[in-house]
Every structure is written in C-alpha cells, then in structure tokens.
Chain A
Amino acid sequence: MAYKTIIEDNIDILVAGAGLGGTGAAFEARYWGQDKKIVIAEKANIDRSGAVAQGLYAINCYMGTRFGENNPEDHVRYARIDLMGMVREDLLFDMARHVDSAVHLFEEWGMPIMRNPETGTYLREGRWQIMIHGESYKPLVAEAAKKSADKVFNRICVTHLLMDDSKENRVAGAVGFNVRTGNYHVFKAKTVIVGAGGASNIFRPRSVGEGAGRVWYAPWSSGSAYGLMIQAGAKMTQMENRIVLARFKDGYGPVGAYFLHLKTYTQNAYGDEYESKWFPELQKIVGKEYLDPEASHLTHRPIPTCLRNHALICEVNAGRGPIHMVTMEAFQDPHLEEIGWHNFLGMTVGQAVLWAATDVNPKHENPELTTSEPYVMGSHATGSGAWCSGPEDVSPPEYFWGYNRMTTVEGLFGAGDAVGGTPHAFSSGSFTEGRLAAKAACKYIDDGKAEGISVSQEQIDRRKAEIYKPLEHYKVFRNEIVAGDVNPNYINPRQGLDRLQKLMDEYGGGATVNYVTNDKLLHIGLKKLKTMEEDLEKIGAKDIHELLRAWELKHRFLTSESVLQHTLFRKETRWPGYYYRGDAMKLDDENWHVLTVSRRDPETGEYTMEKAPLYHLVSEAEEAA
C-alpha cells in the first residue's frame, strides 16, 4: 500500500477529538504540564469541528456564583430531577463548582456575553442559561487550544486506541488515518483524553433524502467517543439513556430561548393546553417523587424534559397534532422578534432557512413542533458515556479510583460526551470537564503511572491492516460487477448506515415505533446487529472519504450495540418520553434506582452488565428531616 506510516512519539497527553471537551483539555494541560508534550488529533479542522462548529447563542450551564445566583449543589439537584434521578452527582458537583471560571475565561478572551443593563450581571435566558453572541465560540476555544498544544493534527480520523503491551488495561496512544492524504498516523502517548463526540444518525431520522443531514446533533458526531472506548474495553454507563428532543419541525431549531426568554408556550392543533391533562396517568407510571405538578409550581422544580415529551407524544397520538409553539404574542415585540431570528442564526442556521423557504412568519403564525429521532450523547439533557472516576474530595469509594475523569482503562480519560452520568454540562461544562481531565492526566504522569509503556510493532501493523481493509476489499471485488453500488461481496458505508438506522429504529425504540421497545424486540435487534457485525468486516470503501464514513459507521455500530444491551438490562421505563419498555411500563425504584454499567470484552465481544449504586448529595437539613 502506498500510504506512509507517520509516527508521533513521546506524547504525554494526546487529545483525541477537539470539540469543547478536547479544547478545554488541551488548553488546561499546558498549565499543569508546562514541559509536557501535548498533541491534538482532530477528525475535521479544529476551528470548526464538533457540535459547536456553527456557534451557539447561549451558554446553558453557568452558575453565576460570582453574582450570588446559584451554588453547585443547586445545579446537581436540577440535573438529578431532569434525568429522573440517574446521574453521577459527584461528577456533576465537580463540574458545577468549576464551570463559572471557564465562562469567565471565555469572556476575557473576547466572547460577547450579553449583560443585564440594570444589574450588570450576565443576561439570563433561564436559571442556568446565559445569552451570548457565540457565532465564533468554536474558533475562540480552538485558538486557546492551539496556543497550548505542541502540535495539532487536523483531518485525522482516530479509529482505535493503542494499548500497552507490557501492562494489561493501560492505554498507550491512538491510531488513525489522514482523510486527505490517506497516511497512517500512530500516536504513542502516556495518556489519552477522549474528547470525541456522541452519536447522531444511529436511529433512523424523520427526514428522508437530503434532509437526513439536518439531524439535531451534528451529522459528524459519529459516536466515536464510545466506539473508541468500548473497543478498548472501558466500562460504559447509562447508554440506554438516549435523548429525544422536542424541537421546531424539520429544522430542529432550538426552543430554549423561545420558552425561557421569549416566553412562548405550546398548544395543540386546536389551541388547547395539553400537557397537564396527561400528567395524572403519567404520575401512575413514574410516581409522585418524579412528577408532582403542584410541588413544581410552588417550588419551581422543573418537570423532567422526558415527561414533557411524553405529553407531546400522547397528544399527537390522540389525534390532536400538530403541536404548535405560540410565537404570535411574543413576536409582536420587534426586539423579541429579532432575538428569535438571531437565536437560529447563531446556532441552527438551517431553521432560519426553512422558515424563509416555507414563508413562516412567527408574528403571524405559530410554527409546528415535533419530537426528534433519538440521540446518544452525554453532555445535553442526557448522560451516556464512560464510567469514570470522580474527584477524591467528593466521590464515594465506588466512584473513585485515583484520577478525576479517568475511565476504567488506566491512563484513558474522558471529557464532554465521553463521560457518563454528567448531563447538563453542555458547552461550558464539557470544556470544564476537559480541564479537569487534563489536570488529572498530568498528575497521573507525574505520579509515575505511565512508566514503561511499550507498543509492539505487531499491534501497529495489525491496526493498519484493519484500518485499510475496506479499501482493499473494494478493490478486490469492484470489478466483479459492471458498475453501480450493488455487489454481493460488500456493502458501502451509506448502505450500512441505512441498515443500522432502520434496525435501531424498529427494534430499539425509534421515532417510527413511538419510542417503544421490549425484551423480545431488543433480543432480535441484538441478533441482527451480530450479523451486521460480520457484514461490517466486508464493508467496501471506494476512496479515502468513504473510508472515513466506514470507520464512522463502525463507531456508530459499537455505540448502537451498547445502547441495546443497556436498554435490555434496565427492565423498567425510567424515562417515558425518551423511550418505553413495553414489557415493563413502570418506573421501578425498588430494583432500578441504580446506574447501569457495562463492559464489552475486546477479545470476545461479549457483554457483561452490572448495577452500580446511586449516590445522592444530601444536605444536613434533608438528613435531619
């Protein structure tokens, strides 16, 4: 093969994937490791990569401790109730106590954060959200990461982590290929911080054809955070906790600013409020601890996002759709109207294009809402990801093994979507997690934990052959047929993705089956995935671009298998509105007030599942009560 092998050796900290988590890691690593070698490997161009590539109009996680607004434990309680109890409160507390400092760094670097003219504090959209002009959010944090890193390798698709051949279960770097030159890249590193993304496009999207790109989470979020770590044998947690978003129809434009700042609200097709009437029945499923509209009204405790989705789904199924966002009142104010448009242009331009194309004028009509296909990620209102150690001064023994944000593989750290159990981190929290992981990784090296790592030539050669196999396979069988993409020896990456999405949708609880699955469906789904795994060995890539798509598909596949295994394990319906276990239609705190933890054996592919205890932050007052 003509591709060169390029080895980058003696790396202390390798950042694999430089979105908000990875840029935070690279930036902070330089402070604690001024003499260390810090290298970034990024699939796209660091200036516009990751979920924040097109910008953001809000920072959704800011405590405002400086302004006397919230304490970290307040945010933990909020995330806890929103996720129906299933969060890692040690990690959340830790993120929340640091996140403000990240936001203030952004402002010092030049991010335009809106201010409340009366109080001088940041302009609040909601209790946790502040409003920014964040079109250049990503280029800004990329600049910080570039100032800290020794080298940035753009356009490297990292496919596998390297493992230490002298000590079991210790990371030794990563490998991948350059999506422009095709060259094979080997990064030998003492620690790896995975900042790669969660997964869009594993469940069949509602859109068809071109519109398949207009997924809610970026189409380049290929589940690589999970694919990389699962392959390395790291334990994962809460992978069943996929998220479904109630968003503007087709464009999936954000609704946060509309609800919180513009004070718009929803109604059914006939102009009626619909949410509250579904709550009594829903309360029987989840219990009063989780849904108590009266208490929520009195204390401003939020109604969990999934439960509000549930009401929307039920109302549509009852034949009173579509659901509308009532904008006609708020948009009469020209200032608010402008904010409504800016909000889209700042983070989901496509929604503005769609409204322009369909002549939606929110002043004169109330736009439609819908629930999206499910997504798997760990930084928005859901917490899938790796099972990571927490900080030593907060975490109970089951949650602590030496280094903050280190996975169960030694020297392998995570940030952002990669870390499980930390929902509601969003952009600022992901950046913060990267910083925390970087400090811990420096300490890990300084403590001498990364001594004596060796990587055999055999491992490097084996991965190389594996990476280029789709190109080889294509070359061997292409000329058996006249032309076209129908070949009995291989499928191409798009065909594979279509199969994965259909399978996950129909067996794993996607949008077309109303988010319902059960044990039987999941068993069939897992069986079909096993067969698909064989076909993935026969995937054909006609060029380097398709090779990229082939490896993205493999990462999405590993993510999907983990999602089905976890969904099968948790025999209850914990998050109605995200998904339903038809064979266990109730929330079951007696058996399932736990976090689910899995490990896929890298040799055999076998899954083992376990329950991990769920710890909550309890105040002295609560304890006394």
Chain B
Amino acid sequence: MPTFVYMTRCDGCGHCVDICPSDIMHIDPTLRRAYNIEPNMCWECYSCVKACPMDAIDVRGYADFAPLGHSVRVKRDEEKGVIAWRIKSRNGETDLNLLAPITTKPWGTAIPKLKDEAGPTQEARDSQLLFNEPKYIRMDDGDIHTLESAGLSMKSGVYY
C-alpha cells in the first residue's frame, strides 16, 4: 500500500529517504518534510514505516482495490529484538496484536570478521569447500558431496 506521511509528526529527519529501496521517499523542498513521490512504485514493504523515529509514516491501501478505513501499524525494536504489529480491519471485526522475534542475539555481535579468522589452507583452496564447511553439509562426518559419493553421473539425453 502506498505510504504517506503525517504533516504534524514528520520532522524531516530523512531516515525514510535513506532506507527506501525504491527511492520514492523524498523531502519536499518547501515543507521540509518527507512524502512518497511515486506511489505506483511502492511495494508496501514498510521499510520506511519501520525506520521512522516519529511514527509519522503510515500506509493507505492502493486506491485501485483497497477501500478506506483500515490500519496495519508496526513497531520494530532492535534492542529488544522484536517486532509488534497491529491489524485493524475496516469493519473493526479483526483487531489483532501480533508479536514476533527479529533476532536471537544482540544485534550484529555474532557475525565473524573474516579478515581476522585463520585463513584457508591451500588444500581448502583447491577443494570445493566454502568457509566453515564441511560443518552441517553432511548426514555423517564425511566430506562434501560429489557425484562419486552420491553414485551419480551426468548424462546428456532424456532421463526421468
């Protein structure tokens, strides 16, 4: 659904401009606030809604098929590692609060810096293995799957 920005809440900080994957959240030069310049290139991905520190951005369903009077709001909290949604239908019968985790670890702490890891051996370079393999790519403790280990060959023609 195309996004729109509430005039009284937006302070023109530009977080939405910075994050929008479609490059459609821009700052209006006169009003110094953000708005959606191209609603028909909006995927309703909610990236800007999640990024807005003022809760100034909301979504109104596409005019060509969505009637007015609904709401899907979101609050994403990286520190708590959760995202909270509230869905309200047009007739009010559906009113759901849904919560989901977004990470199991403090943000960005568990990703290795590969520059500082022990580098690969020449043997590893000459093999088919990737970083951290063969961990988790086998049913047993063996090496990577090959055609030979799987008892397979590649043949040209129609085989089913």
Q: Which residues of A pack against B, CB within 8 Å?
A: 27-28, 30-32, 34, 44-45, 47-50, 53-54, 65-66, 68, 71-73, 81, 85, 89-90, 93-94, 97-98, 100-101, 104-105, 107-112, 133, 135-136, 140, 143-144, 147-148, 155, 179, 207-215, 218-220, 250, 289-290, 338, 341-342, 345-346, 349-350, 352-359, 361, 391, 393-396, 435-436, 439, 443, 446, 545, 548, 589, 593, 613-623
Contact = CB atoms under 8 A, between A and B. Distances in A.
Among B65, B98, B138, max chain A CB count under 10 A is at: B65
A280 B110 CA distance: 54
B120 A100 contact: no
Contacts of B114: 27-28, 30-31, 34, 147-148
B136 A100 contact: yes
B54 interface: no
Contacts of B70: 353, 356-357
Contacts of A357: 61, 66-70, 89-90
Nearest to A363: B94
Contacts of B56: none
Given A357-B66, A619-B152, A341 B87 contact: yes
Contacts of B62: 207, 209-211, 213-214, 250, 350, 354
A44 B152 contact: no
B64 A48 contact: no
Interface string B121-157: 0000100101111111111000011110011111111
Contacts of B160: 81, 85, 289-290
12 contacts: A34-B115, A48-B45, A71-B150, A72-B145, A112-B103, A112-B104, A207-B62, A353-B61, A394-B147, A439-B130, A548-B23, A618-B155
Interface residues of B, number: 92
Given A350-B1, A357-B66, A111 B137 contact: no
Given A147-B113, A289-B160, A53 B47 contact: yes
B57 interface: no
B111 interface: yes
Contacts of B44: 213-214, 349-350, 353
B1 A101 contact: no
Nearest to A395: B154
B91 A45 contact: no
B100 interface: yes
Interface of B: 1-2, 18-23, 26, 37-47, 59, 61-72, 74, 76, 83, 85, 87-91, 93-94, 96, 98, 100-115, 117, 119-120, 125, 128, 130-139, 144-147, 150-160
A135 B110 contact: no
Given A112-B101, A446-B125, 4 more contacts: A211-B40, A218-B22, A353-B70, A615-B156
A355 B104 CA distance: 30
Given A213-B2, A356-B72, A361-B89, A349 B136 contact: no
Contacts of B46: 54, 349
Contacts of A73: 150, 152
Among A73, A357, A617, max chain B CB count under 10 A is at: A357
A97 B144 contact: yes
Contacts of A140: 103
Contacts of B137: 65-66, 97-98, 100-101
A350 B152 CA distance: 45
A35 B114 CA distance: 11
Given A357-B69, A623-B153, A54 B47 contact: yes
A439 B152 CA distance: 25
B72 A352 contact: yes
